[in-house]
Each structure stands twice: as structure tokens, then as C-alpha cells.
Structure 1
Amino acid sequence: MTFAAGSAAHLARLEARSGTLSGPTTNLAPGFVQANLAILPRDLAYDFLLFCQRNPKPCPLVGVSDAGVPMIEALGHDLDIRSDVPRYRVWENGKLIAEPHDISDIWREDLVTFAIGCSFSFEEALLALNVPVRHIEDDTNVPMYRTSIETVPAGVFSGPLVVSMRPMKPQDAIKAIQITGRFPSVHGAPVHIGDPTEIGIADIANPDYGDAVRIEPGEVPVFWACGVTPQAAIATARPAFSITHAPGHMLVTDLVNADLSI
């Protein structure tokens, strides 16, 4: 696949590369696929690949790099994994040690990058069919929560399912199920609607990642599997070294959202 320079997605990556873009990528470069990242040493890559295959709702793979190669050509023109995300997270032994804007100085020749579909992609389809998205309305990051639902283990990787939440009127929630169900490559249909305590979320007003959003009277919380789930699995596995994106700070690719619809 050939991608052209100068697309909105390419310009977003250049802004991240220069440091101009440092915040969440919600509603940035509409029409283009955004991706979560998990970057791991080669000796853990098979286990993580298996983890993604066993947990396709939270971990739908859209691209995998060769070891040591800081690009995934199938995802975009002039794409550099080391600099084109607004904010990264660096982990040592499962503990977060830094949140840099560039990882060129810590890049290693044994690192494998996994790009995982992001729910920001299906939000374009929701908005196009007049389904409001609260965190876009309020210009905040989407709220994300660790749940009591366990992922299917693979090798050293296991842990809780992480979900993102969007409050909606019941009629909009029904439309959202129909719309997002057409996008399995970016998490697909919701995994839960309604009472958050049923999936282990004790306080909807205090997300584990992202920002809290208002829930208006008559609205219900709608939960989707989230690509931050690998970060919970990495925290459980405690690899000596790994890198992820910061929640909400995605890699904007040159893939087109509409091409992911089934």
C-alpha cells in the first residue's frame, strides 16, 4: 500500500515528532485509524502476540514491526515509532518510570512494536450518525477503567480487561452497538452497558486512566474493550523493559477508518 505525504495523519505525526503535539489525539485527523502501542523485547514478542490473538476485543492487532525496526510501513508514510506518538510510557519491571515525548535515545535493536486498534477510530462513525460522544464534546480524554473481567492468559501476560466509557441515552446506546459492531479491528461492539459495579468498577467518577466525564440524567454508561489492556498485562508480567503509549496519546496512522468496517 502506498501512502502520500501531507495527509492530516502525516501532519499529526510530524507535530508529535517536533513536540508541537503533546496532548491526547481524540478527534485528531478525522477519518484516519489511530493505534495503541506496546513495544517489547523480542524474547517476549511471541507471548504478547499470543495474548493479542486470545484477546481480540481489547487487543485487535493492526500492525507488527520487525525486531529493531522503528517503523511499520503498512501503517503510514514516513512513520517513526520512536517519535510520532505525543507521549510514551516507559516501564521497568512493571513500574512506570518515565513519560517522554520521544524514545529515540532508549531505542534498542531487539524491540518489537505492536500496533493495536483504538476506539477513537469508531468515534468518527458514531458522530457521523449523530451519536454524541461526551469526551469529544467536553474536549477531554476518554475515561478508562480496570475491570474485574480477566483476560485470557498467554505466556507471562495476563491481567484485567480495561474498558473505555461513553455515557449515552438508551436509544443512542442501541445505535452505538450497531455502529461499532461493524468495526472489530478497533474493539467492535460494547462489552457492557449499565451498572459499572457489575464489572468491578466501584466509582465511575474516578477512572483509572483518562478524565472523568459527566453523566446526564437518563444516560447509561456504555463500556468498550480498550487498548490500554496491554498496559495492565505488562504491569502484571513485569518485564525488565517495555514501552507503551500514554493513555489517549495514540499513533495516528495513514489507514482509513472506513476501510476497517465490515
Structure 2
Amino acid sequence: MAVLTFVQSLRQDLTLMPHDFRRQVRSKTFTGPTAGFCGEYAQANLAIVPAEFADDFLRFCVRNPKACPLLAVGEPGAWSLPALGRDLDIRTDAPGYNVYRHGELCEQPSDLLELWRDDLVAFAIGCSFSFEQMLARERIPLRHIDEGVNVPMYRTTIDNQRAGRFGGKLVVSMRPMSGADAIRAVQVTSRFPSIHGAPIHIGNPAALGIADLSRPTYGDAVSIHEHEIPVFWACGVTPQSALESAKLPFAIAHRPGHMLMTDITNASLAVL
């Protein structure tokens, strides 16, 4: 009950700043999904690979910009990304991490303090949670936030554009909407290519190779009301599909839905 009360108080605190939120994450006071928090500020997905694979992973992001829009790239061994915020620590400031060894998810630590190495390169990738503030301003319901769960994410049958060892399948996030809201969502999100931009698909999930919306690959299922349609965005969990397929000896990502909060405003990411 104490954790629930704390989460509710955070959601109600519209003045909470990203550096304050990161401190709550760093102290492990907050450990859950980050959708709906610090709404005016961009959130970031993480992918962290050894330096010997960093050039290939950078090319992978460039070749798959819808799923992997880059916000920042670190230097080898650097656990700070000054472009994303002051007093930001990659090792502690996401609420959860996935650790991969030879393509297998083997550990989900709450921080990386004991795992960090001098050869690791951090990639910060735009996140669809960032444009949700703009959708909310348009009074477009966001079911995962209303139901207090993680956004549903699905691994599709669509191949990513390969770069070196990195390939895998495209991952998408889904939000159910009315037809009118879906049209408006396209108009709003198309102005933000660095946080995935417009949806890649609206309607029949089978076109993406998704057999059952009630069984997401990551995150949680949400209710879909009568006359609503599923709207799919390219998702920053896609790099985790690439990390699995690459079978690197060691790699790290954020836990899906548990993002790094940045000091970058969403408004600054818009294009005309």
C-alpha cells in the first residue's frame, strides 16, 4: 500500500522535475514503469554494448530510425550522458535493467553498479512515452495509464534492417483508440520523429504477425473497448530484439517500460 500511495502521489505532482524523479529511482523508492511521469520531459530507452560492437549498433540505429531514434551516444566507459541531463547516471537512473549474455536474458538488476565496465557504450533512444503528454492534451485516452499497467508491446514478424551482427524483429507498442482519436494521434505524433513519430500501423494486428493482443511480448494487456482500433508505434524495445539476435557475450538494456527520465523537453523535439 505504501508503494501504491507513493506512485499515486508522484502522478499527482505535476511539478515533479526529472532530476527529482531520477533521485527517487536512484534511491529505489520508485521501481515501476515510467509512463505518465514528468510529462513535459522526454524519456529514453537504453541499449548498452561493448565498444567493439558500438559502430555496428550505431549503424543499426541509423538504418532503423522509426524504432531506434537516437537521442545521445556515450563515450566508452562513460556512465553519464550530459546531453540528456545534469547529474544523470546510466548505472542507477532507470527503474530496472535487462542483462543479456550470448543473446539470453539472464538477469534483471535494479542498478548496474556492479556490472559496469570501462568498455561499455550507452545509447539513449527516443521513447513513445514522451509523446503521450501531447496525446493527453488532445484528450486522447491512454488505456495503460488509466488502468495503471505497463504499455503492451509486441514482437512482430517484420525484419529490422541488419547492420553487422544486429538484426532481429521490429517491436511495436499498442494503444487502443477510437477512429477519430487515431487520426488525431497521427497528426500529433508525426511532428516528433525523434520519439518514434507517427504510428506504423493502424488496425488488423495480423498484418504485423501479432496473433493475440491479449498476450503482449512485453508489458501488460489492456482492455480494448467496442468500436476502438489498435494503433501501433515502432518501439524502443526493438534494440533488445537485436541484442538477442546478435548473441553478444554481454549487453544491457532497460527493462521494457522502465525508462530513463531526461531533462530534454518534449517540445524541443518537435519538427515543423
TM-score range, shorter chain: over 0.9
> How do 1:15-54 residues align onto structure 2 when only pairs under 5 Å count?
15-54=24-63
Corresponding residue for 2:221?
Answer: 212
Deviation at 1:148, TM superposition (A): 1.1
Q: Secondary structure at the match of 2:114?
A: helix
Superposed CA offset, 1:45-86 (max 9, x none) = 000000000000000000000000101001001000000110
Corresponding residue for 1:253?
Answer: 262
Q: How many residues align?
A: 257
Deviation at 1:7, TM superposition (A): 6.2
Partner amino acid, structure 2, of 1:127: A
Q: For the residues of structure 2 that align with 1:209 and 1:150, how far apart are their CA atoms?
A: 18
Q: For the residues of structure 1 that align with 2:24 and 2:98, how far apart are their CA atoms?
A: 19
Tell me the TM-score normalized by structure 1. Answer: 0.97
Q: For the residues of structure 2 that align with 1:7 and 1:201, how far apart are their CA atoms?
A: 37
Q: For the residues of structure 1 that align with 2:255 and 2:17, how far apart are their CA atoms?
A: 21
Superposed CA offset, 1:219-260 (max 9, x none) = 000000000000000000010000000000000000000111
Q: For the residues of structure 2 that align with 1:40 and 1:197, how far apart are their CA atoms?
A: 33
Corresponding residue for 1:56?
Answer: 65
Q: For the residues of structure 2 that align with 1:15 and 1:108, how far apart are their CA atoms?
A: 24
Deviation at 1:8, TM superposition (A): 1.1
Q: For the residues of structure 2 that align with 1:93 and 1:148, how far apart are their CA atoms?
A: 22
- The correspondence for 2:211, drawn from 198, 202, 208, is 202
Corresponding residue for 1:193?
Answer: 202
Partner amino acid, structure 2, of 1:176: A
- The correspondence for 2:232, drawn from 223, 244, 255, is 223
Superposed CA offset, 1:187-237 (max 9, x none) = 000000000011100111100000000000000000000000000000000
- The correspondence for 1:88, drawn from 84, 94, 97, is 97
Superposed CA offset, 1:157-199 (max 9, x none) = 0011000000000000000000000110000000000000111
- The correspondence for 1:14, drawn from 14, 23, 26, is 23
RMSD value, Cα: 0.9
Tell me the TM-score normalized by structure 2. Answer: 0.93
Corresponding residue for 1:3?
Answer: none
Q: Secondary structure at the match of 1:75?
A: coil
Corresponding residue for 1:170?
Answer: 179
- Structure 1 unaligned segments of length 5 or more: list them: 1-5
Q: For the residues of structure 2 that align with 1:182 and 1:149, how far apart are their CA atoms?
A: 24
Corresponding residue for 2:76?
Answer: 67
Give 4+ residue runs of structure 1 displaced > 4 Å after superposition.
none
Deviation at 1:126, TM superposition (A): 0.3
Partner amino acid, structure 2, of 1:13: R
Q: For the residues of structure 2 that align with 1:241 and 1:216, how far apart are their CA atoms?
A: 42
Corresponding residue for 1:131?
Answer: 140
- The correspondence for 1:77, drawn from 86, 93, 96, is 86
Q: Secondary structure at the match of 1:120?
A: helix
Corresponding residue for 2:252?
Answer: 243
Corresponding residue for 2:123?
Answer: 114
- Structure 2 unaligned segments of length 5 or more: list them: 1-14
Deviation at 1:30, TM superposition (A): 1.2
Q: Secondary structure at the match of 1:123?
A: helix
Q: For the residues of structure 2 that align with 1:89 and 1:12, how far apart are their CA atoms?
A: 21
Corresponding residue for 1:179?
Answer: 188
Q: For the residues of structure 2 that align with 1:82 and 1:239, how far apart are their CA atoms?
A: 20
Q: Secondary structure at the match of 1:236?
A: helix
Q: Secondary structure at the match of 1:58?
A: coil
